[in-house]
Amino acid sequence: MKVSTDPQKIEEALSRSIDTIYPKKEDFKKLLESGQQLTMYVGIDPTATYVHLGHATNYIILKRFHELGHKIIVLVGDFTAKIGDPSDKNAARKRLTDEDV
């Protein structure tokens, strides 16, 4: 798939449903305009109890970049699911088996 460098499409992808781009929107825009195919990913913990429809925004944004010709990876974290995400936790979660996941 050819990478689109159409300035209007790039601006739309960078502005719709996106609040802030780190470190700088201008730097990311230059990368997109270069024609280089970028790889972007989102990681998912399949056991998370807090996944909701609001997370669909991430997939919609990634779809826009895919339509521009960039490679998108959706990573379902089976290892993370087994041991648990330690972020913001006071205690370790019970380790899960492959069957549990």
Number of domains in the chain: 1
What is the three-class DSSP state of 67?
A: helix
Domain contains 101: no
Measured between alpha carbons, how far is 74 from 85 in angstroms, rounded to an integer?
A: 17
Domain contains 56: yes
Domain contains 96: no
Domain contains 54: yes
* pLDDT per position as a tens digit, 68-100: 999 999 988 777 666 766 665 666 667 777 777
CATH no. for residue 40? 3.40.50.620
Domain contains 11: yes
| Phi and psi torsions of 76, nearest 5° | -95, 110
Q: Which of 71, 69, 74, 61 is nearest to 12 (CA)?
A: 61
* pLDDT bucket at 38, cuts 50 / 70 / 90: very high
Domain contains 97: no
**Total-model pTM:** 0.74
Domain contains 58: yes
Domain contains 57: yes
What is the three-class DSSP state of 32?
A: helix
Domain hosting 26: range is 7-83
